[in-house]
């Protein structure tokens, strides 16, 4: 009897020579097929809009797959704008001010309205994470972080070896990769990582 840890583990998903689709589309289809074959339970939280410390405006979810929690974020460029803009800000006003002056202070009311706009748009448009891609990303990032010491990992990706933020990113990649490995087993973990490289 096959389990989630050995299902499709030995199968390879090479790009078909007679398929005219781009390789990333073929990889995405193969990734979805592999994920579906594992029958892993998954769910996600409602969308939350936020700006991170680098002023990246994004929508985030917490995605639970096979009993493990993974973060997933996407930029607001992936969000369909469904609501008319009203209030004390315009869609571009906050971003334009920050582009002109990264140290500018945005009024809390404007920032809150902007985040509410993106959060509501994401929710109403049905934006949701793709669990196969969430796992694949954790596998790809985790595989490299788990195979290298921090200094080598930082050098390979252009991070500063003395950066605590870079070290936190490294540790998070290792943690999420370990979670994915527990869910998938080594063979499927490697397959998810391989397919993620082609996306």
How far is residue 197's CA from residue 192's CA, in Å, rounded to a whole number? Answer: 9
DSSP state of 87: S
The residue among 122, 121, 123, 112 whose CA lies nearest residue 88 is 112
pLDDT of residue 86: 52
What is this structure's pTM? 0.78
Listed range (1-10, 38-47, 151-160, 169-178) with the worst mean pLDDT:
1-10
How far is residue 8's CA from residue 2's CA, in Å, rounded to a whole number? Answer: 9
- What residues does each domain of the chain span? 23-77+126-197
Rounded to an integer, the average pLDDT of 134-149 is 97
pLDDT in tens, 57-102: 999 999 999 999 999 999 998 888 775 555 544 555 555 555 555 5
Distances (CA, A) of 83 to 3, 77, 86: 45, 15, 9
Burial 16-45 (b: 16+ CB within 10 A, else e): eeeeeeeeeebbbebbeebbeebebebebe
How far is residue 173's CA from residue 188's CA, in Å, rounded to a whole number? Answer: 18
- Flag whether pLDDT at 52 surpasses 70: yes
């Amino acid at each position: 009897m096959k389990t989630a840890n050995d299902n499709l583990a030995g199968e390879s998903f090479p790009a078909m020579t007679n398929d005219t689709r781009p390789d990333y589309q073929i990889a995405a289809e193969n990734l979805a097929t592999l994920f579906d074959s594992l029958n892993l339970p998954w769910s996600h939280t409602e969308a939350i809009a936020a700006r991170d410390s680098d002023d990246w405006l994004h929508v985030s979810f917490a995605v639970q797959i096979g009993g493990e929690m993974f973060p997933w974020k996407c930029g607001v460029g992936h969000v369909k704008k469904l609501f008319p803009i009203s209030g004390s800000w315009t869609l571009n006003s906050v971003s334009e001010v920050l582009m002109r002056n990264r140290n500018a202070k945005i009024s809390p009311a404007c920032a809150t309205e902007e985040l509410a706009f993106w959060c509501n748009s994401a929710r109403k448009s049905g934006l949701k994470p793709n669990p196969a891609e969430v796992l694949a990303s954790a596998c790809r990032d985790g595989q490299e972080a788990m195979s290298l010491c921090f200094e080598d990992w930082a050098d390979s990706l252009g991070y500063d070896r003395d950066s605590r933020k870079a070290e936190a990113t490294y540790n998070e990649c290792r943690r999420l990769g370990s979670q994915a490995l527990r869910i998938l087993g080594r063979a499927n973990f490697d397959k998810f990582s391989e397919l993620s490289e082609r996306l």
